[in-house]
Amino acid sequence: MKRLLVVSAHAADFVWRAGGAIALTVAQGGKALVVALSYGERGESGELWKEPGQTLERVKAIRHQEASRAAEILGADFLPLDLGDYPLRVDEGAQERLVEVLVDFAPDVLITHTPRDPFNPDHPVAYEVTERARQLATGSGVASAFRTVRPPEFLLFEPHQPELCGFMPDLFLDITPVWEKKLAAMQVFASQGYLQRYYAERAEHRANHARRISGWPDIARAEAFQRVLPQVVRSL
């Protein structure tokens, strides 16, 4: 049973960028866990702040409801750490909590943000804390005096503007069989409804790339990822 862990800076990031990977993992008999470092209540919930008399706690409650429902649609468990956003600050306690999550869940695949994003101050922070947690949880792949797990495959999901974030995809995932689930999960986020069309179109663009590379004509929707570490195989 493959185990997928997605670390999301804000409550909705996992849906736009890895919703298909999550749904596909679960559909194939695996297990998925989403860790949201924040709800994105300050910088990622613009539609909600248009309502008169809006409050921070109400926005967080709505975002929690949206993210929980989206994760449920995709088949994932949802774990919010509620660290706040813009800026996202991760103290040592939160860092240790993420390490514990990695060790307890023992993912086969770990996915998070790119280390560079000139348009979002929180995404690089999410990468940094995830990378550190991965190193601590795995002991760099050698025997250690503390409890560790086997190093997972480490991937970055596609940022909103990939060319400006140094994102170079080297893995395309066919999400055609679970596209309707990803679409339904995206539609849950009324707080960021404007992104639904963008990521629906992006899935078509990446499918076009995937078809050309693979020659598989039936790929209608795809997600793009970038490997952080080399792939290790026993045969070519």
- Give the CATH number, domain containing residue 125: 3.40.50.10320
Which positions ≥6 away from 53 have C-beta within 8 Å?
Answer: none
232, part of any domain: no
233, part of any domain: no
Is a pLDDT exceeding 90 seen at residue 141? no
201, part of any domain: yes
- Total domain count for the chain? 1
Report the mean per-residue pLDDT for the chain: 96
Which H/E stretch holds residue 224?
strand 222-227
The pLDDT assigned to 191 comes to 81
pTM of the model: 0.96
Mean pLDDT of 99-109: 97
d(CA 161, CA 166): 9
Domain range spanning residue 18? 3-227
d(CA 165, CA 227): 14
Helices (H) and strands (E) in the chain, counts: 6, 7
d(CA 15, CA 185): 7
235, part of any domain: no
157, part of any domain: yes
Is a pLDDT exceeding 70 seen at residue 195? yes
What are the tens digits of pLDDT across the range 147-157?
A: 899 999 999 99
d(CA 236, CA 231): 11
The pLDDT assigned to 172 comes to 98
d(CA 216, CA 155): 23
d(CA 202, CA 186): 13
Is a pLDDT exceeding 80 seen at residue 126? yes
The pLDDT assigned to 71 comes to 98
Mean pLDDT of 14-29: 98
The three state secondary structure string of 124-159 is HHHHHHHHHHHHHHHHHHCCCCCCCCCCCEEEEECC
**Whose CA is closest to 109, among 126, 93, 94, 130?**
130
